[in-house]
Amino acid sequence: MTPLDLTTVTTRLAAWSFPAGIDGVVGIASGGVVPAALVAQRLGVGMKVMALNYRDEANEPRFTAPKLLSAVPDLGAWRRVLLVDDVYVSGRSWHAARALLPASVEVLPFVLKGKVDFALIREIDGCVQWPWKVQ
């Protein structure tokens, strides 16, 4: 497990080029709540949360598909949002969350870690220890 400190995450977020015209941020709980809050604060936009669960504490799938554990947030007038999670492994949680949001809303991905273009951290293999998560 690779530990990351908050300064590393926030410094990278400050340098990230986010798309223009983002109306709000939707965080996928539980892992995506802190990342979504950091992104929303960085962009100066509102944030909403939806809870899904797919993986356990050992990062192994616990269900055949991600389960919705909360209401889907009302996005109101938001027409372009970032859907934020902590990690992107298979993409199943992100895609499940996207499918629950209105098709009329442009939903763009952003994660803190993963082997995808929209990940803040792509060079670390394996699990990371986020500074806001208790071991």
pLDDT in tens, 64-100: 778 888 889 999 999 999 999 998 888 888 999 999 9
Q: Which two tokens stand for residue 105?
A: 């809303």
Measured CA to CA, the distance from residue 94 to residue 111 in angstroms comes to 9
Q: Where are the domains of the chain?
A: 2-14+21-129
Torsion of CA 9, 24, 92, 19, to 10 degrees: -70
pLDDT for residue 31 is more than 90: no
How many CB atoms neighbour CB 66 within 10 A? 22
**CATH architecture assignment, domain 2-14+21-129:** 3-Layer(aba) Sandwich (3.40)
Considering the entire predicted model, what is its pTM? 0.89
